[in-house]
Amino acid sequence: MTLLAAIAGPGDVRALPSSALPVLAGEIRRFLVERVSRAGGHLGPNLGAVELTIALHRVFDSPNDVVLFDTGHQAYVHKVLTGRAAEFETLRRAGGLSGYPSAAESPHDVIENSHASTALSYADGVAKALRLKGSSRRVVAVIGDGALTGGMAWEALNNLAVLEHPVVVVLNDNGRSYAPTTGGLAAHLGSLREGRRRTVFEALGLPYVGPVDGHDVDALESAFVEAAAYGRPVVVHCVTRKGKGYQPAEDDPADCLHAVSAAGSGGGATWTDVFGAEIVSLGAQRPDLVCVTAAMRGPTGLDAFATRFPSRVFDVGIAEQHAVTSAAGLAMAGLHPVVAVYSTFLSRAFDQVLLDVALHRLPVTFVLDRAGVTGPDGPSHHGMWDASLLPVVPGLRLAAPRDAARLRELLGEAVAVADGPTAVRYPKSSVGPDIPALRREGKVDVLRYEPDAVGLLIAVGPMASACLEAAEELAGHGVPVTVVDPRWIAPLDPSLVKIAGEHRLVLAVEDTTAVGALGGRLAQALAVVGAPTRVGTFALPSSFLPHGSRAEILRAHGLDAAGITTTVLKRLKEHS
Ligand code: TPP
């Protein structure tokens, strides 16, 4: 029997003699490599956090002490030690174990948001509340050096420095986000690893313990005990190695196997691949074109651009707000920045898009990868709010390509706009074959035309193929529908309003939350001109969608060909 098999909770970890801990760490690493390679998920970060998490559960008393994980992608070891090893068979699958902390799974899990740089602010608030209640429960926040590049982390440290409650900030410093961490902070942490004594934390008024070997459980335990004794906020600097103990991860030049795909997944070029190639050719034609990434150069497809034009790509760290306003500065000084970011991470920079970029009518292009349903990363990774948020920004033009040819075309149109911001959104998936148009009316592509159409399907972006399939099925039922792709989804193109006004029933099919989506805006525009058209929005509900595969989630909400067919038939019946 392995040691791991006997761990049902942190109490069992505390009961082990120190001499057994390296064995336990080895077992956990083998377990992670085997399970995560099969299911897909975050491998490198968790391999680096094995000893740190063991030590944390031996010194602190979760859930009485509140243990918080920043980002949460490195919490697999915590899940294993809090009695969830058996459930790893279902990791990231619909209905299975979440890839992030989940309060529904365990009382040991607190933060569910997987956006970085938040844990220290949660810690500040929890600690303030505990202090007001007279509680002596301690707060522990684990944060990576990558997440520490986010502005929120520093806003929190500023507050923690004057707080009188035990908060232990465990800095898990592996020198990397996905790629090596950039900027002055990274250089400072490097100098601390080499023994420099004056730390930025102490300068802020926070005691500093370390640097500690993050793979030596005894040293970690001593450091945590020392930190806890301060009785106030303190930073413990743990030096770890991403991918530790698994050679393919340690040696992986890209990102130490930060995230791996499920065995047997993949196939076909992705939207990211198409963008990655196109931005290089646009860059070759346009010397004023520069790219900005918030610590996601590889995942957003900018590696080839960086290789070709190394001085024209800026990795600003996990700092989306800064990325956007810095892009505004680049544009003010005459360049055309392309900010490549996941849709879900742009939400936190909304104010910067609105007032730092759009108010100044600056030509910045936002490329929103992972827009719509993303899949196994769950509620905080679904990019289902950008298409509701961005249309309210005056002067911003938002595009949704249906295929690779349209992505290239719309990206070209976007970077040609000189008097305001543009955005192009596409999902996390393979891109599929090109879908030719019959003709273009204004900005709108007509994909299927039925002279006696009883309805119009507006296929937004990647919903085109499902809409065309549905139209074919509907024709079989004797229900002819026309299908159009608006290409630019905000602001509404007059030609779209005109085409829609010529139909009795219009259904906009969208991979986004329904509130604020194209269908609602179109209904409003048609009401203004007094058209008798009924417009329905067929999109995602206004709720936090759980994890599962993209296809499963879309299907569950009727956003596949069969679901669209059923909905059209139902609406026709209702309106007949
Ligand atoms: N931007 C935000 C706001 N949140 C995110 N989760 C990401 C980007 C994507 N992301 C997930 S993990 C990660 C990034 C950029 C790197 C985190 O680095 P670090 O905190 O050092 O943890 P490590 O994986 O190195 O242990």
Is 320 a known active-site residue?
Answer: yes
Kindly state if the Cβ of 114 falls inside 6 Å of ligand 1. yes
| Residue 180, Cβ density class (10 Å: 0-12 exposed, 13-18 middle, ≥19 buried) | middle
* 150 Cα–ligand 1 center, Å: 10
> Relative to the CA of 144, which ligand 1 atom is closest?
20
Looking at residue 511, which CATH number applies to its domain?
3.40.50.920
Question: Of 176, 242, 370, 428, which one is the catalytic site residue?
Answer: 242
Q: Name the domain boundary from 194, 218, 250.
A: 250
Does residue 266 sit within a domain?
A: no
Residues 409 and 350 in one domain: yes
| Residue 287, Cβ density class (10 Å: 0-12 exposed, 13-18 middle, ≥19 buried) | exposed
CB under 8 Å to 45, separation ≥6 — which residues? 73, 74, 144, 174, 242, 258
CB 367 within 8 A of CB 331: no
Positive or negative, the CA dihedral 502, 505, 508, 509 is negative
Write the residue with the smallest CA distance to atom 6 of ligand 1.
115
Q: Are strands 234-239 and 289-293 parallel, antiparallel or unpaired?
A: unpaired
Number of domains composing the chain:
3
Does residue 433 sit within a domain?
A: no
Residues 372 and 448 in one domain: no
Does residue 394 sit within a domain?
A: yes
Dmax (CA) of the chain:
79
* 528 Cα–ligand 1 center, Å: 45
Whole-number Å distance between alpha carbons of 468 and 268: 21
Residues 29 and 61 in one domain: yes
Complex ipTM over 0.95:
yes
Residues 421 and 446 in one domain: no
Instruction: Please give the structure tokens belonging to residue 96.
Output: 């299975």
Residues 280 and 172 in one domain: no
pLDDT digits (tens, 9 = 90+) for 458-517: 999 999 999 999 999 999 999 999 999 999 999 999 999 999 999 999 999 999 999 999
Residues 398 and 515 in one domain: no
CB under 8 Å to 234, separation ≥6 — which residues? 167, 168, 169, 206, 207, 208, 209, 227
Residues 365 and 500 in one domain: no
Does residue 21 sit within a domain?
A: yes
Kindly state if the Cβ of 318 falls inside 6 Å of ligand 1. yes
| Closest to 92 measured CA to CA, from 114, 108, 63 | 114
Kindly state if the Cβ of 138 falls inside 6 Å of ligand 1. no
Residues 315 and 227 in one domain: no
* 342 Cα–ligand 1 center, Å: 12
DSSP annotation of 238 reads E
Q: Where are the alpha helices (DSSP H) in 100-162?
A: 119-132, 151-160
Q: In testing the pocket of ligand 1, which one of 318, 339, 346, 352 has its CB within 8 Å of the most ligand atoms?
A: 318
Kindly state if the Cβ of 45 falls inside 6 Å of ligand 1. yes
Residue 403 domain boundaries: 271-425
* 377 Cα–ligand 1 center, Å: 13
| Predicted confidence pLDDT, tens digits, the chain (576 residues) | 899 999 999 999 999 999 999 999 999 999 999 999 998 999 999 999 999 999 999 999 999 999 999 999 999 999 999 999 999 999 999 999 999 999 999 999 999 999 999 999 999 999 999 999 999 999 999 999 999 999 999 999 999 999 999 999 999 999 999 999 999 999 999 999 998 778 999 999 999 999 999 999 999 999 999 999 999 999 999 999 999 999 999 999 899 999 998 877 767 999 999 999 999 999 999 999 999 999 999 999 999 999 999 999 999 999 999 999 999 999 999 999 999 999 999 999 999 999 999 999 999 999 999 999 999 999 999 999 999 999 999 999 999 999 999 999 999 999 999 999 999 999 999 999 999 999 999 999 999 999 999 999 999 999 999 999 999 999 999 999 999 999 999 999 999 999 999 999 999 999 999 999 999 999 999 999 998 999 999 999 999 999 999 999 999 999 999 999 999 999 888 876
Q: Name the domain boundary from 397, 425, 453.
A: 425
Q: Is 432 annotated as a binding residue?
A: no
Does residue 466 sit within a domain?
A: yes
Transcribe 491-559 into DSSP letters. Answer: SPPHHHHHHHHT-SEEEEEEEEESTTSHHHHHHHHHHHTT---EEEEEEE-SS----S-HHHHHHHTT-
Q: Which helix or strand (DSSP H or E) is residue 561 part of?
A: helix 561-575
Residues 362 and 492 in one domain: no
Does residue 261 sit within a domain?
A: no
Q: Name the domain boundary from 425, 459, 490.
A: 425
* 118 Cα–ligand 1 center, Å: 11
Residue with the two structure tokens 């929190």: 156
Kindly state if the Cβ of 175 falls inside 6 Å of ligand 1. no
DSSP lists the bridge partners of residue 260 as 41
CA atoms within 13 A on the CB side of 555: 8
Look at residue 304 and give its three-state secondary structure.
helix
Kindly state if the Cβ of 293 falls inside 6 Å of ligand 1. no
Residues 410 and 506 in one domain: no
- Edge-to-edge strands of the sheet including 66-69? 66-69, 139-144, 167-173, 234-239, 208-213
> Relative to the CA of 71, which ligand 1 atom is closest?
6
Is 428 a known active-site residue?
Answer: no
Whole-number Å distance between alpha carbons of 240 and 173: 6
Does residue 209 sit within a domain?
A: yes
> Relative to the CA of 147, which ligand 1 atom is closest?
20
Does residue 245 sit within a domain?
A: yes
Residue type, 141: A
CB 126 within 8 A of CB 66: yes
Residues 43 and 74 in one domain: yes
Instruction: Please give the structure tokens belonging to residue 165.
Output: 């409650």
Looking at residue 109, which CATH number applies to its domain?
3.40.50.970
CB under 8 Å to 520, separation ≥6 — which residues? 514, 537
Whole-number Å distance between alpha carbons of 432 and 90: 28
Q: Which helix or strand (DSSP H or E) is residue 276 part of?
A: helix 271-285
Residues 446 and 419 in one domain: no
CB 323 within 8 A of CB 348: no
| Closest to 141 measured CA to CA, from 118, 174, 116, 119 | 119
> Relative to the CA of 177, which ligand 1 atom is closest?
18
pLDDT digits (tens, 9 = 90+) for 260-301: 988 777 679 999 999 999 999 999 999 999 999 999 999 999
CB 544 within 8 A of CB 113: no
